[in-house]
Structure 1
Amino acid sequence: MHALSAVRENVGMDELAQWLGEQLDEDERTTRATDQTLGQRNLRWSAKPVDEAFFRVVAAKHYVVGTGEFSPEDAHHIAEWDPARVLREIDGKRWFVEMLANSLKPNPTTGIPRGVAWSMLTRMAEVYRDRPGWKAYWPGSG
């Protein structure tokens, strides 16, 4: 049996799902840390023009995000990735990880084929391959 296949059949799947969940936990922690309004929920950002050339990124209660002014493209990009959106994305990814991990168990209840579930899970995890804990035997490790 190929070494990668052995990993897939044994501990690699649960280990990868757990590690990916930990990465999502870290994403949530850093995203929630952007709320610098003394605990008030201020997680929706938007780009507001300063003049024709520069924008500021502001939170819902007019708190300026960061220091300085940005090009319109940068400001709109930063605002698009506001904490509220990132938290929704993290929740969606957690749901997928749970479904895919269930599909890899001996008696899955999802109906997703094991090979498809493994491929999807590893593709999701590849985003975090530069973080500590990434295993060389997981697909996509180069």
Structure 2
Amino acid sequence: MDEFLAWLTAQLDNDERAARAAAETFGGAAEWQFDRLTDDDFGTDYFLHVGDRTILGAVRPGEENAGPFVVSELEHIARHDPARALRRIGAARRAIQLHQPGRDRPDGVEYCLECGPSWRGNELVVYPCETLRLAAVEFDDRQGYRGGWQPEP
């Protein structure tokens, strides 16, 4: 397997393990919900529901946060729940299936079989294609990422 594809697949495998472990921690609950309940003069209570568990982050008048989490943290956690992470990983895996490398050019240059050979100015676009470079850029802070894999600005 191509070095880029092996690296990208390993990143997806790691994220998939983490997402499945997080869901399992909460009894396999995949869908996480963020709720806002306005009470009275005491302020607004914010909850993150994960399966049969509820995490409270309460905001009181004049206070940024009176619970264990800042409300923006709860919103972020709910938006990036394991189910969403697994959908993102599935989409990236499908992109990898579609954008395989090929070498049927006489010069042996490797290019994406889905995108075909293309040119940027006088330079032949080689594998990985722009689609896979975009799929990998979210992992650019991880060990093994190469600057040459950056998508075009």
Q: TM-score, normalised by structure 1?
A: 0.69
Q: In the alignment, which residue of structure 2 is the partner of 1:4?
A: none
Q: Using the alignment, how far apart are the partners of 1:125 and 1:135 within structure 2? A: 10
1:77 Cα deviation after fit: 3.0
Q: Which amino acid aligns with 1:70?
A: V
Partner deviation per Cα, 1:38-71 (whole Å, 9 max, x = no partner): xx32121011336544412121323539982432
How is 1:103-142 mapped onto 2 (pairs within 5 angstroms)? 104-106=101-103, 111-115=114-118, 118-139=129-150
Q: In the alignment, which residue of structure 2 is the partner of 1:86?
A: 85
1:30 aligns with one of 1, 18, 28: 18
- The question of 1:46 aligning with 2:37 is answered no
* 8 Å contact from structure 1 (residues 48, 57) kept in 2: yes
In structure 2, the CA distance between the partners of 1:81 and 1:136, relative to structure 1 (3 Å rule), is closer
In structure 2, the CA distance between the partners of 1:55 and 1:70, relative to structure 1 (3 Å rule), is farther
* 8 Å contact from structure 2 (residues 112, 129) kept in 1: no
1:122 Cα deviation after fit: 1.4
* 8 Å contact from structure 2 (residues 133, 149) kept in 1: yes
Q: TM-score, normalised by structure 2?
A: 0.64
Q: Using the alignment, how far apart are the partners of 2:142 and 2:4 within structure 1? A: 13
- The question of 1:62 aligning with 2:49 is answered no
| Structure number, greater radius of gyration | 2
Higher strand share: 2
In structure 2, the CA distance between the partners of 1:91 and 1:121, relative to structure 1 (3 Å rule), is same
Q: Which runs of 5+ in 1 are unaligned?
A: 1-10
Q: Using the alignment, how far apart are the partners of 2:79 and 2:140 within structure 1? A: 24
1:110 Cα deviation after fit: 5.6
Tell me the secondary structure at the aligned position of residue 68 of structure 1. Answer: coil
Q: Which amino acid aligns with 2:97?
A: E
Total equivalences in the alignment? 123
Q: Which runs of 5+ in 2 are unaligned?
A: 58-66, 105-110, 119-124
Higher relative contact order (CA 8 A, sep 6+): 1
Tell me the secondary structure at the aligned position of residue 35 of structure 2. Answer: strand
1:137 Cα deviation after fit: 3.4
Moved more, 108-117 or 43-52: 108-117
1:18 Cα deviation after fit: 1.4
